[in-house]
Amino acid sequence: MDSAPRRRESRDLPPGFTDLMNDIIKYAASFIKGFDLKESEMREIVREFNKISDEVRKMQETTDKARTVGGTVLALGILATPLTGGLSLLAVAAAAGGGAVAVVGTNITKKIIENGSAKKVEDLGKQFMEKVKPLKEILEEIKTTCEKLEQKKTEVQAGNTLKDMEEFQRVLRRVAELGKRSGQVLDVAVMVMNIIGHLLRLFGIVFRVSATPEQDREFRESIIQSADQCQRVFDNFDNMKEELKVFRDTE
């Protein structure tokens, strides 16, 4: 872990408290530096992910419209059947339209694979997870250290002056806020890793001929969801960096 500026020692804080505060400052510096080093690459990954996601979303919308039209034609065919037996053929054709929509969905997945977008998504997902993991681990350290600091409040001796206690409580409030915030950002990071992990597992299914239309659709929706969550993680990490800067510079 990189070294970081130490806390000012002039404050008379409870025993063991200063060391834990120094640990938070150290982890904060590591997160800030780590994100700064990865920021441009993460931003590019998110940009490429969103670009592919937008393409998939547009193709998916076309498929959904085809499904809606097919369902409408089917309903009209069923209503018209009692009037004329000949129109029952329309109902049969409409019923077959459901299969046609499934074929359209499968063709979307096939197109994604053939134009290289699927492989690119796989690579982007792996790269993003590699960059998120070390930053996630730092957030875990920050959250754990904040929890240890909050536990210290039960160890404060009654002999401390009112001024010391006021300072201690002020710092504890800041620590509690940081612990809560780091936990929230950590949850988002864990979520995106789980979502991308699921997406990568789907690759083993859609590349097989046995993939069902439902699995094809799940694969496409997973691409969209992964892109959205990658953007969310990036935004949260960016905000977390700024919050850690403020905490580091004011404590």
Cβ proximity of 178 and 24 under 8 Å? yes
How far apart (Å, rounded) are the C-alpha atoms in residues 216 and 58? Answer: 15
Average pLDDT in the 158-170 region? 65
Q: At residue 210, does pLDDT exceed 80?
A: no
Q: What is the mean pLDDT of residues 28-40?
A: 97
Task: Identify whether the C-beta of residue 189 lies closer than 8 Å to the C-beta of residue 135.
Answer: yes
Domain boundaries, the chain: 17-65+116-250
On whether the CB atoms of residues 172 and 156 are closer than 8 A, the answer is: no
Residue-level pLDDT at 68: 56
pLDDT in tens, 90-129: 443 444 444 444 445 557 788 888 888 889 999 999 999 9
First-to-last alpha carbon distance for the chain, in angstroms, is 20
pLDDT band at 250 (very low <50, low <70, confident <90, very high): confident
For 245-251, what is the mean pLDDT? Answer: 88
